[in-house]
Amino acid sequence: MSAPARVFVSYSHADLKWLEELKLVLAPLIREERIALWDDKRISAGAEWKREIEDQLRTASVAILLVSARFLASDFIYREELPVIYERAEKNALRLLWIAVGRSLVSETPLWKFQAINDPNHPIDTLDRAQRMETWVRIAEAIKEAVGVSAVAGALGTIDESYNVVRSVVLGATIPEAHPVARYSAADDTVAFTAGGSTVTITADDMKLLDKESLELIQMYEDSMQQRFDRIKKLYPSRVLPNGDLDPDVDRQLRNLAKPMCEDLNNILTFLARMGKSLHDHYWKYHQLCDQLRS
């Protein structure tokens, strides 16, 4: 089984009540290890809390924001959490979902361009308990679907990000070449893949058609790609020796890391093609690099 999808929750401590209700309704997904939910209550005593929050933000695939006037007033959230969340969301490395738990001026912030998963005109704190639980269940369903979309976007986003590094390893190329394929649209909550005038779109509705095992498989590919690319990024700066020659040991390690990334790419593209979402033509340049790695 793959690792559970990492979900980061950002909230004001004054809204702790709503965090607890969210965790209550997500309990089945947490118990089955479909998601790993993290909030700052999990920071142990004596831990370097700021660094731990940064580490969790950098590795999460989904961020859930419990938005209220108190949330928007928090200097820590504004200065420390939101910049990282926005940056990773813009790079398709993280799905940003926000929940209106109270009335606020959220329409005057960058959050407004991202999709809310409940009606901001009827925030959580205006509903009675029965209405709240009905809304929370709909929110939980949206989070479950977002995890699947996030895994697809994350896996292929890693491929996009790694293209020029792998190209340099294979071809010795130093001039970066554009390879923008995956694009997350906050307006309609989709991931669109565009290349050569052709666009393939994957939505949360597409994820609804997948069973638990399929979602876990996609998550596994994302984890595998990201872990290998993280290792490539650490190794890559030491590839060139001070005299300008390539270090053969480092170059061999980089190639050995890139090869299984190629296998993961082929596997996920084959899986998506079976869903009716063929992206093989979108990644033909990467396939060419993979063919040269194998030769």
List, in sequence order, every residue forming a beta bridge with 246; answer none if it has no partner: 240
154-167 mean pLDDT: 84
Longest CA–CA span in the chain (Å) reads 70
pLDDT at 204 over 80: no
Q: What is the pTM of this model?
A: 0.65
Place of tokens 């082929």: 266
Query: Exposed, middle or buried, 286 (CB in 10 Å: 0-12/13-18/19+)?
Result: buried
pLDDT digits (tens, 9 = 90+) for 218-236: 878 877 888 898 899 999 9
64-87 mean pLDDT: 94
**5-10, strands of its sheet edge to edge:** 35-38, 5-10, 62-67, 95-100
